[in-house]
Structures are given as structure tokens and as C-alpha cells.
Amino acid sequence: MASVPPAQDAAATHPVTPAPPASTTIPAEHVAQPGSFLSSVFGDNPYFQAGFGLMGMGVGLTVLRQGLVWGTTALRRRMLVSLEINNKDRSYEWFLAWMSRQNQVAQQSARVPWVRSHQLSVETIVEQRKNGSSSALFNLVAGPGTHYFNFRGAWMQVKRERETRSMQLMSGVPWETVTLTALSRDRFLFPQLLAEARDLAMRGNEGKLVVHTAWGIEWKPFGQPRRKRPLQSVVLEPGVSSRIETDIKAFLDRRKWYADRGIPYRRGYLLYGPPGSGKTSFIQALAGSLSYDICLLNLSERGMTDDKLFHLLSNAPERSFILIEDIDAAFNKRVQTSEDGYQSSITFSGFLNALDGVASGEERIIFMTTNHLEKLDPALIRPGRVDLAQVIDDASPAQARLLFNQFYGGSFKVTGLSDDAVQAMASELHDIVSDELSAGKRVSMAALQGHFILHEAKDALASCRDLFARR
């Protein structure tokens, strides 16, 4: 039987090796390499394997995400150029109009207009005419949100954002910005794009008259630009049109003269006379002939205050006439202040103040019209406020003759009617008008125009006496 040797014997025969100090290298075969150690401990553990895999993936993703952040930041820094335009700037509207134009062009050529074309806004423009008729036009523009488009080979992102919490002071229009980001290092793309948008806007207005109206304290184009009316189509008493034209041209040539003398560079015109004599038509045609815009100011508008008026008069767009119609009507009533302190109209002194207040060197041309000169306060008509006052009256014999010729002569002549025949009829009308005038009866140019639109030359002449009335 085998005997187990006593412990001391064992110790004697197998001397105990002292425990190796910590620094002593453990024989390689006893040391697990990290992998092999872990795998030796956890190798067969499926839970660990899955966990380790997940951890690896997590690390990988973090690195990837970090890389992406770095990448995009670097890309943004090196490759992307951004531009922000807010709706206080004129280029804002040009740009939106340009975008909507790109959309139209794309739709016409059956291309996909925007990557996200369902975010459209509609801009409705309602044009109200003097005779009460109106027309509405719809403009589809890129709505708030993100859109993409390609401009000269570079992709661009457009973000249109609307600030819902704050409004522009007075005008009540929400703040908006568009941020353009181009995936391109070409910094000149934006100026190119904006120049294209501006040119498009300008081209659309070429040969057109732009009428602005007040929106709170801002001027905004109203309706679509209208076709310019030729100056000579408004038939005034001989010499009247050229008197005003010469005056305004002389004024426009004397900017330096005014500046050198420190005089405010402004000029005021007052056209007075009965309704339908062509006052408004003439001012609009004159603006068109000088390539000026019209800023239509309605003094009786609800919400108009002295402060707003002052601001509007000092901040009209460049190259524009300020047109204030029926100036007498605005001051007939006293200022009414309701309980909540709402001031429903401007004061006369506030108006004078606004007229005088434009002390800057900026050009200011103001046209005023009235049907009742006698109702105007002399303080308003003094030089400096009104520099040229001109009566525009009912039809004179000469005006009636000219209007008749314009309607029925030249290219408008009906067949079978010779030039001489038209001239003879026009002369006859001339005599009828002088006849009626000496009997104290008058007719407006608007009434004559309406009559000529309805009748052929002969009928028009035959029935024209019915139009005259004592006034």
C-alpha cells in the first residue's frame, strides 16, 4: 500500500520555493495575455461576448459621430458659406420673387422645382382701382421651412424662418429671415445670385410705374407695377404740362445748389381743380416719364398719427413722388381721441411739421391735390410747403379738341373717316365747348373721355351737349 509521506518529509524532499517578489516575472506560460486571459475567463460566456460587441459598436459610433461633427465643422468652415437676409432688407423680396420665378421656370420645363416643394406660401396681391373694381393675383413663394435648389452648379439650402413672438414695430409684420447656405467655397455666388434677383425685379418694373402705400411706418409696393401712361395722353391746357415738367427738371438739376446753401432739398406741388380733370393721371404720368415711383399717402387712413406721418415723409423710397390726394378732406374734422386714447386722425400742425421736418439733404418731392383750394389753410400753401400751385380745370375748348383728336384721329380713325373729317369735327367740338362755357356750363375731361369711349365720332359729337352742366 502506498504510504503518504509525512509533511516534513515532503518538505524535506521538495524544498519550498519562496513566493516570488511582485516584480519577479512570472513564467510566460502562467500569465494570461489580456485576450487570452479574458477569453480564458469569459471566453465561453455568451453574455459577455454580446456585451463586448455592443461596447465596441458604441465606441465605434462615438468615434464616428465625433468624426462627423469634426467633419461637418471643418466642412462648414472650409466649404459652406452662409448668408442671412431679413425682411427689412429690400433684397428679401427680390430673393423670394427670384425663388418663385425659379419654381415657375422649373414647372414649365417639367422639372422638379424644389426638393421640398410642398412648403409654399401664397402671396395675394389685391389691386383696388379708383372705379371700385379690383383684381387679385397670386404669387407662390417658398414658405417657411427648408428648401434646396441648385444655382450655377452649387447646391444651396434655403431656410425661411418666421419669428412668431415679435413683430416689426408699427407695421405689425412678423420678422422673417432667410438663411442661404451654399455647399461651395465660392463666396461670389451670393452676390451673383442677389444681382440676378435684383435684375429680375428691376426688369419686371421696367416701363412700369410702381405705386407704394404705407404699411404702418413702412412703404411697400402696392399691387403689380402698372403700365406707364404717356404724358401727352393726359391733355391739359396748353403750357400747363410743360410748366410743371420744366420746374421739376430744374429742381432735379439743382441738388448741389441746394446743398451748397444748406436748403432742404425738397419741392412741393399743389394741383387743384374739379374732380376728373386729370390731376392724378398727370402726376402718375409725370412720375412714369421721369422713372420715379409714387408713394400714395392717405391722411385719413385709420391709425395714421402725426408720428407715423412724420416718419413716412422722412423715409420714402428713393426716386419717388409722395402723392397726397384730397388734402382738404383730411382736416375737415377735429382730431378725435377715443376713450382708449386712440387718435383717429392727424393734426394740422402735425402735418405741417411733417412737411417741414425733412431737414436732411435727401430729395423730397411732394404732390398734393385738392378739389377745393378755398378750403386750404394759407399756412399750407406758403412757399417751402407748396412751391408751385397749378389749377387743372374742367375741359377748355382746346383740351376738348385735342382729346377728340386723340380718340378718333390718327391710328384710331375708323374706316371711311378722313383726317380732315376728324379735324373738322374736333373744331366743331371746340366751338361747342366755348359756347357752353360762355353760358356758364362746363364738362369734365373725365366725362368727355367716358363719352368718347361709348360713342363713335359722329354720335359723340351729336350728343355731347347733354354732358354740360352748370357748376
Residue 396 touches ligand ADP, criterion: CB under 6 A = no
Judged by DSSP in three states, 408 sits in: helix
φ/ψ region of 33 (left if φ > 0, alpha if ψ in -120 to 50, else beta) reads beta
Exactly one of 142, 449, 457, 461 binds ligand ADP (CB under 6 A); which one?
449
Residue 236 touches ligand ADP, criterion: CB under 6 A = yes
Residue 409 touches ligand ADP, criterion: CB under 6 A = no
Taking residue 33's Cβ as centre, other Cβ atoms within 10 Å add up to: 10
User: Grid coordinates in use for 58?
Assistant: 458604441
Which of 107, 93, 139, 135 has the alpha carbon at shortest distance from 120? Answer: 139
Exactly one of 168, 281, 305, 390 binds ligand ADP (CB under 6 A); which one?
281
The least distance separating ligand ADP from the CB of residue 271, rounded to whole angstroms, comes to 8
Q: Which is nearer to ligand ADP, 100 or 396 (CB)?
A: 396
The least distance separating ligand ADP from the CB of residue 276, rounded to whole angstroms, comes to 5
DSSP strand pairing (320-324 vs 293-297): parallel
Footprint of ligand ADP on 85-144 (CB under 6 A): none
Q: Which is nearer to ligand ADP, 217 or 329 (CB)?
A: 329
Query: Total number of residues binding ligand ADP (CB under 6 A)?
Result: 14
DSSP strand pairing (226-227 vs 208-209): antiparallel
Q: Which is nearer to ligand ADP, 234 or 330 (CB)?
A: 234
DSSP strand pairing (388-391 vs 469-470): unpaired
Exactly one of 87, 91, 102, 280 binds ligand ADP (CB under 6 A); which one?
280
Stretch that binds ligand ADP, among 110-118, 197-205, 303-311, 444-452 (CB under 6 A): 444-452
Residue 241 touches ligand ADP, criterion: CB under 6 A = no
Q: Specify whether the CB–CB gap between 158 and 176 falls below 8 A.
A: no
Residue 422 touches ligand ADP, criterion: CB under 6 A = no
Q: At 188, which amino acid appears?
A: F
Sequence-ordered list of residues with C-beta below 8 angstroms from that of 112, at least 6 positions apart, any chain? 106
The least distance separating ligand ADP from the CB of residue 237, rounded to whole angstroms, comes to 9
Residue 305 touches ligand ADP, criterion: CB under 6 A = no
Helix, strand, coil distribution of the chain in percent, nearest 5: 45, 20, 35
Residue 401 touches ligand ADP, criterion: CB under 6 A = no
Q: Specify whether the CB–CB gap between 99 and 123 falls below 8 A.
A: no
The least distance separating ligand ADP from the CB of residue 146, rounded to whole angstroms, comes to 47
The least distance separating ligand ADP from the CB of residue 380, rounded to whole angstroms, comes to 19
Burial class of residue 222 (count of CB atoms within 10 Å of its CB; 0-12, 13-18, 19+):
buried
SS (H, E, C) 102-160: HHHHHHHCCCCCCCCCCCEEEEEEEEECCCCCEEEEEEEEECCEEEEEEECCEEEEEEE
Stretch that binds ligand ADP, among 4-12, 115-123, 249-257, 272-280 (CB under 6 A): 272-280
Exactly one of 102, 168, 222, 276 binds ligand ADP (CB under 6 A); which one?
276
Exactly one of 99, 178, 231, 278 binds ligand ADP (CB under 6 A); which one?
278
Residue 368 touches ligand ADP, criterion: CB under 6 A = no
State the virtual CA torsion across 458, 461, 466, 469 in degrees, nearest 10. 160
Stretch that binds ligand ADP, among 39-47, 158-166, 379-387, 442-450 (CB under 6 A): 442-450
Which stretches of the chain bind ligand ADP, using CB under 6 A? Answer: 234-236, 275-281, 369, 445-446, 449
